[in-house]
Amino acid sequence: MSTTSAALPNEGPWAVPSRGKIGMMSLIIAESAIFLIFVAAYIFYIGKSLDGPAPKQILAVPLFATICLLSSSITMHSAIDALRKGSSGVFNLLWILTLALGAIFIGATAREWHHLITVENFTIRTNLFGTTYYSLVGLYASHVIVGLILLTIVAIFGLAGKVRREHSERCEVIAMYWHFVDAVWVVVFTVVYIVGR
Amino acid sequence: MASESIALEVHKGPLQVVYEWLGTADHKKIGLMYIVYALLFLVIVGIEAILMRIQLAHAESTFLSPQVFNKLFTLHGTTGVFFVAMPILFGFGNYLVPLMVGARDMAFPRLNAFSFWMTSFGGIFLYASVLGGAGISQIGNAPDFGWFAYAPLTSPAFSPGHAADFWNISILLAGVGSIGAAVNMVATVISMRCPGMTMSRMPLFAWMNLVMGGLILVTISPLTAAQLMLLGDRFLGSHFFDVAAGGAPIMWIHFFWIFGHPEVYVLIIPCFGFVSEIVPVFARKAMFGYPAMVAASVGIGFVSLGVWAHHMFTVGLPSYGNAFFVLTTMLVAVPTGIKIFNWLATLWGGKIRFATPMLFCAGFLFQFLIAGLTGVMLATAPFDWQLSASYFVVAHFHYVIVGGILFTIFAAFYYWYPKMTGRMLSETLGKWHFWVFVIGFHMTFDVMHIPGLTGMPRRVYTYAADRGWQTWNEISSIGAIFQTIGILIFVYNVVASFVAGKVAGDDPWDAWTLEWATTSPPPEYNFASIPAVHSRRPLWDIKHPDDPDWKYE
């Protein structure tokens, strides 16, 4: 099928946004809405437990884990920068460092939960605090784990030498997801360990 | 000129055809599967409605037990929203939007397939609930707590057994499918447009799908969240809605309606898109006020996120809470009114052709307006205090859903069936369908407002004979018979025209958007070469090179 009259003024080069980035941004919007509801429930139920332990009594602020997780955004950003410049080796290093920092966070959360469950006898059914704490942090941790899976897949390809400069946009899409995960932690951390205590 | 498809005629065995459809990622096949799926469930929804109307036609009827009746209205509402309306709109959107924006497929074809199969499995899972339990004649283990599934009725204490889990999980799965479809649609509309198709040159149907997609992202997620909470309460012993532990059922109500209200705008906005495509073609006049239509639709999307508690006026929110939602609900009528005026302005001065698609759009314009008016009435909180959970509300929302959404879906069928199958639907049968259905629609739903106003509650399996509601209910039920006949005529038309309908050609309606610039049905790759557009009506520009639109836009 032909275009219209040849006498049409040139409208300039045609450019549309990357579908990967728009798709990931859309997913981030949807996930933000889910987290918003769980955060709303958390905030609504602060102080409303009828019995059982209160946050101040059993929650320890996970400062080290938080620093690790938030730093992972910096390493992730640097990894993408390196890949754009073509330094696959530096990219691999920084990417795996990001993965490690994320894994430390999950490990720390697992240790915290193990302590809460086995020592404090504190579970999702203990009281409203238990319900909202485990559901919000659990939903969050599951998103981190999905992120770690994505990072691992790319790390495997990266170590096999298959991730090069032309793949930087796809890695950026994953980076968007990881930065979103970090941003959600800022909110969850504030609500659970600062406001809620 | 239209492109020619070079198809290699290969004989395919039946098993090959099945594998092809099961494994396809082609947006046209997926679109058709969504539509066929939705039509099958539409028949089921209709049967549930007929059974209820038979029960309600006479006071103190014993045709159905209260338990069966409760399951019927729960299934009817749940199926209608999640397994008829959503899939059929995804179907039309997935089929048409890539063609309209000059693309070869959606942004993420495999995500498209995944979303379809998730949604379709959700529906099958919901109906698996009718097996077991009390047996299929008593509608088995089906959910019976109404489509909005209020806590604590759905708690383990008050809904033992698994009916609530069937409801919860089936919609959770469908919700995942919907979010996938929305992500795909947003990415397609933004990132897959052909050269020259700026956002302001896109067909309005593509715009509506963008707004619908964006709305789905923020509205289905709250429902998913609430359902995860219910899942936790029912399986893990969490206390989100557990009053004994200090939980608050009102959280479910808030979360559900934060989903539930924008959801109905999710449903109507693509229907606005159908009307905006069909009315100009049958008035032979370009759409009046394109920028206002876009702005109004985006405005409706945003305002609709702030009106949810008008479903909660009788729950006991403080007066300033109720007042806020009265105002926002009335506010949403403003951009909606702008759209109606623009459609009327498009018709004004046009050369109107009342073919079947236009008939159904005319029905929509009239009926959607009335539904909007009863909506504004209900938006007034004290009025709603009298009429909440009465048949007035049932009449209002069926007026929008059947009189608005279903009418435009019929219009879309008559308009795009030629493109999808290569054959025209019969105009004669189409007119019979329209007139029988519109008479039945008005008989059922106009009259239904009256028992509502005189106090008949909804979700009751029967009523006392001395309330004065029987005559109105009888008339409503007779109207349902007419609607059934209308739908049967439609089904016959769809099937018979598929084999023996008039061959359609590329552009039977003399329309202006890109889907009509390729064959009917389109080849798998849609266009021989990706088009470049210079105006909102690219096909008009091609057909009228001496007087192209880009001179005027």
Q: What is the ipTM of this complex?
A: 0.94
Model pLDDT for residues B142-197, shown as the tens digit of each residue: 999 999 999 999 999 999 989 999 999 999 999 999 999 999 999 999 999 999 99
Q: What is the CATH number of the domain that holds B297?
A: 1.20.210.10
Q: What is the CATH number of the domain that holds A135?
A: 1.20.120.80
User: CB of B246 within 8 A of CB of A48?
Assistant: yes
Tell me which chain B residues have a C-beta less than 8 angstroms from the C-beta of A3. 531-532, 534
Q: Indicate which of A26, A48, A117 best probes the interface with B, i.e. most B CBs within 10 Å of its own CB.
A: A26
**pLDDT confidence tier of residue B9, bands split at 50, 70 and 90:** low
Backbone angles phi, psi at B503, to 5 degrees: -65, 135
- Number of C-beta neighbours around residue B90 at 10 A: 32
Test B534 with A4 for CB contact under 8 angstroms.
yes
Which amino acid type is present at position B292? A
User: CB of B352 within 8 A of CB of B282?
Assistant: yes
Residue B124 above 80 pLDDT? Answer: yes
**pLDDT confidence tier of residue A171, bands split at 50, 70 and 90:** very high
Test A128 with B239 for CB contact under 8 angstroms.
yes
Position B108 scores a pLDDT of: 98
Contacts by B369-374, CB closer than 8 A, 24 or more apart = B369/B340, B370/B399, B370/B403, B371/B396, B371/B397, B371/B399, B371/B400, B371/B403, B371/B404, B372/B333, B372/B336, B372/B337, B372/B340, B372/B400, B374/B399, B374/B449
Q: Break chain A down into helix, strand, coil percent, rounded to 5.
A: 75, 0, 25
For chain B, say whether A5 makes contact (Cβ under 8 Å). yes
For chain A, say whether B426 makes contact (Cβ under 8 Å). no
Q: Is residue A15 part of a domain?
A: no
Position A10 scores a pLDDT of: 66
For chain A, say whether B527 makes contact (Cβ under 8 Å). yes
Which residues constitute the domain of residue A38? Answer: 20-195
CA dist B392 and B451 (Å) reads 7
Exposure b/e, B137-153, CB count within 10 A at least 16 = b: eebbbbbbbbbbbebbb
Position B6 scores a pLDDT of: 52
CA dist A187 and A145 (Å) reads 18
Position B485 scores a pLDDT of: 97
Q: Is residue A32 part of a domain?
A: yes
- Mean pLDDT to the nearest integer, A14-32: 96
Position B2 scores a pLDDT of: 45
Of B401, B533, B127, which is closest to residue A11 (Cα–Cα)?
B533
Q: Among A5, A38, A124, select the one facing B545 at the smallest CB separation.
A: A5
For chain B, say whether A195 makes contact (Cβ under 8 Å). no
CA dist B291 and A81 (Å) reads 40
Q: Is residue B524 part of a domain?
A: yes
Which helix (H) or strand (E) covers residue B308, if one does? none
CA dist A5 and B533 (Å) reads 11
Name the pTM for this structure. Answer: 0.95
Position B165 scores a pLDDT of: 96
Interface of B with A in 112-141 (CB under 8 A): none
Rounded to a whole number of angstroms, the distance from the CA of A49 to the nearest CA of chain B is 6
- Mean pLDDT to the nearest integer, B356-364: 98
User: CB of B76 within 8 A of CB of B52?
Assistant: yes
Q: Is residue A7 part of a domain?
A: no
Overall domain count for chain B: 1
Overall domain count for chain A: 1
Rounded to a whole number of angstroms, the distance from the CA of B132 to the nearest CA of chain A is 30
Q: Is residue B1 part of a domain?
A: no
Position A1 scores a pLDDT of: 39
Q: Is residue A116 part of a domain?
A: yes
Model pLDDT for residues B58-77, shown as the tens digit of each residue: 999 999 999 999 999 999 99
The token pair at A106 is 């999950």
User: CB of B276 within 8 A of CB of B287?
Assistant: yes
**pLDDT confidence tier of residue A7, bands split at 50, 70 and 90:** very low
For chain A, say whether B36 makes contact (Cβ under 8 Å). no
**pLDDT confidence tier of residue A5, bands split at 50, 70 and 90:** very low
Q: Is residue B104 part of a domain?
A: yes
Position B1 scores a pLDDT of: 43
Which residues constitute the domain of residue B361? Answer: 14-551
Exposure b/e, A138-177, CB count within 10 A at least 16 = b: bbbbebbeebbebbeebbeebeeeebeeebbeebbbbbbb
Q: Indicate which of A24, A28, A37 best probes the interface with B, i.e. most B CBs within 10 Å of its own CB.
A: A37
Tell me which chain A residues have a C-beta less than 8 angstroms from the C-beta of B528. 1
Rounded to a whole number of angstroms, the distance from the CA of B239 to the nearest CA of chain A is 6
Position B8 scores a pLDDT of: 60
Q: Is residue A46 part of a domain?
A: yes
Ramachandran region, residue B200 (left: φ > 0; alpha: ψ -120 to 50; beta: rest): alpha
Q: Is residue B139 part of a domain?
A: yes
Rounded to a whole number of angstroms, the distance from the CA of A12 to the nearest CA of chain B is 9
**pLDDT confidence tier of residue B3, bands split at 50, 70 and 90:** very low
Q: Is residue A134 part of a domain?
A: yes
Test B3 with A139 for CB contact under 8 angstroms.
no
- Mean pLDDT to the nearest integer, A136-145: 97
- Mean pLDDT to the nearest integer, A101-118: 97
Test B238 with A124 for CB contact under 8 angstroms.
yes
Model pLDDT for residues B197-248, shown as the tens digit of each residue: 999 999 999 999 999 999 999 999 999 999 999 999 999 999 999 999 999 9
For chain A, say whether B241 makes contact (Cβ under 8 Å). no
